[in-house]
Amino acid sequence: MLTKVLARVLQSLPKTRTGDYIFSYLLFLRAHRRKPGSGMLLNDYLFRLKTSKEMLSPLRQFTSDKALVKHFVAATVGDKYNIESIAVLESKAEIDAFDFPASCCIKPTHGSGRVILRRDGEPIDKAEIKAWFDLNYYLYKREVNYRYAEPKVIIEPILFGGTKGEDYKFFCFNGKVKLLQVDIGRHHVHTRKYYDGAMNEQDFSMKRPRELGPYELPKNMPEMISVAEKLSSYFGFVRIDLYSDGDAIYVGEITHCPENACARFIPLEAEQTASDLIFN
C-alpha cells in the first residue's frame, strides 16, 4: 500500500527542477532509509550530481544517447572500440519495415536497462519494440540527461557469439579509474566483483551478491583502463562501461548516474570504503 501511495506521489510531481529534486529525494529515502548527506559517500555524491545542472550539460546529454555516443568514442579513442550499428530506426513505421537479422541485439537509444537479444531467428515482439518510442526515460526516475533524448532503436550484433565476455564498469573520477565493477552471469545468476584502481579485489558488492568464486581479470585490462580514462577525462565523475572477451574491447555505454544513486552496498558499511577509493 505504501509503495502504491509513493508511486502516486511521485507521478504527481511537476516536471521541473524542484519536482525532479523532490522525486529523487524520495527515491533516495526509500532506497537508503536515510536522507542524502553533504559528504563524499558515493550515493550522496551521485544524488547531488543527479539533481544538479551538470546533468544537463550538452556532453552528458549527447553521450547518454546510445547511438550518438559512438561519435564521441570514435573521436576520443577510435572507432574500433564501437560496436557496429547494423541500423538505427527512428520511427514505428521503420520497425515494421525492417528485416531484423536472425541474431541481433535490439535496444532503445534513449534509456537504459531495456534490451532484446534475438537468437537463431526466434520471433520478436515488434509491438514491444515500437512501444519504446513512447518511452520517456526521464519520467521513469527523473534522470534529466535523458529528458530531451530523441527516441530511436539501435540494432547491433550480439558480441562474442553470445557465449563469453563480461561487463567491465569503470568508476572514474577526474580522469582516473578508481573502482572496477565486473558483472558476471548478467543474464543468468547475476553476481559482481569489485577491484580498486590497482586491480586489487575488494570484499564488498553493490546491489547484487558478491561473486565468491575465483576470477581472472583479462590480459587486456591495461588497455581497458586506458580507454576508460581517456573517455572519462571529459567529466568529473562518470562510469565507463566496457565489454571484452580478453582480446577485443567495446564501449557499451557511458553511465552518468550509476543505479540512480539508489544502490545499497553489501555490507552497508562498505560504502565508506568504496567512496574513499573513488574520491581520495
Average pLDDT over residues 200-227: 95
Q: Are residues 152 and 176 in the same domain?
A: no
Q: Are residues 173 and 242 in the same domain?
A: yes
Q: Considering the chain, what percentage of its residues have pLDDT values greater than 90? A: 89
Which residues does residue 244 pair with via DSSP β-bridges, in sequence order? 166, 249
Q: Is the pLDDT of residue 7 over 90?
A: no
Domain CATH code at residue 248: 3.30.470.20
Q: Are residues 138 and 255 in the same domain?
A: no
Q: Are residues 135 and 97 in the same domain?
A: yes
Look at residue 185 and tell me if it is in a domain.
yes
Q: Are residues 68 and 181 in the same domain?
A: yes
Look at residue 41 and tell me if it is in a domain.
no
Q: Are residues 117 and 223 in the same domain?
A: no
Q: How many independent structural domains does the chain possess?
A: 3
How far from 171 is each of 80, 139, 218, CA to CA, in Å?
22, 25, 18
The residue segments making up the domain with residue 99 are 87-156
Query: Quick check: pTM over 0.85?
Result: yes
Q: Are residues 113 and 201 in the same domain?
A: no
Q: Are residues 179 and 234 in the same domain?
A: yes
Q: Are residues 65 and 93 in the same domain?
A: no
Q: Is the pLDDT of residue 270 over 80?
A: yes
Q: What is the distance between the alpha carbons of residues 213 and 223, in angstroms, rounded to a whole number?
A: 25
- Sequence-separated contacts (24+) of 187-194 with Cβ below 8 Å: 187/117, 194/274
Q: Are residues 109 and 147 in the same domain?
A: yes
Which residues does residue 106 pair with via DSSP β-bridges, in sequence order? 116, 155
Q: Are residues 185 and 75 in the same domain?
A: yes
Model confidence over 70-103: pLDDT tens digits? 999 999 999 999 999 999 999 999 999 999 999 9
Look at residue 49 and tell me if it is in a domain.
no
Q: Is the pLDDT of residue 1 over 70?
A: no
Look at residue 50 and tell me if it is in a domain.
no
Average pLDDT over residues 46-59: 98
Look at residue 43 and tell me if it is in a domain.
no
Q: Give the per-residue pLDDT at 238.
A: 99
Look at residue 217 and tell me if it is in a domain.
yes
Q: Give the per-residue pLDDT at 113.
A: 86
- Beta strands 265-266 and 205-206 are antiparallel
Model confidence over 120-165: pLDDT tens digits? 999 999 999 999 999 999 999 999 999 999 999 999 999 987 666 6
Q: Is the pLDDT of residue 2 over 80?
A: no
Look at residue 42 and tell me if it is in a domain.
no
Q: Average model confidence (pLDDT) for the chain?
A: 95
- Beta strands 116-118 and 153-156 are unpaired
Q: Are residues 149 and 97 in the same domain?
A: yes
Q: Give the per-residue pLDDT at 268.
A: 97
